[in-house]
Amino acid sequence: MSDLVCSRVCVRRQNALQSTAFFTLVRLWAARRRERLALCQLDARMLRDIGAGGAEAAREAAKPFWSA
């Protein structure tokens, strides 16, 4: 009986860890999307301030959210 209880606890813990990892990944993707959208809003002066060029910013902004 105790093996069954231990097994259920282990499965629940594993499911919780997988859920946490999934939601962490979703938050990372959302942050990348927000940052790339913000990058699109920067003018040439602002891009120079951060050390980026227009082509470089456009290339980064065009990446899909799942791509690092």
Give the model confidence (pLDDT) of 2-30 as tens digits: 666 667 777 788 887 788 999 999 999 99
Q: What is the pLDDT of residues 48-66, one digit of tens each?
A: 999 999 999 999 999 999 8
Q: At 42, is the secondary structure helix, strand, or coil?
A: coil
Is the per-residue pLDDT at 1 higher than 60? no
Q: Which residues have a Cβ under 8 Å from the Cβ of 44 and sit 6 or more positions away?
A: 54
Please report where in the chains the tokens 């990058």 appear, as a residue: 39
Q: At 62, is the secondary structure helix, strand, or coil?
A: coil
Is-above-0.85 flag for pTM? Answer: no
pLDDT, residue 29, reads 95
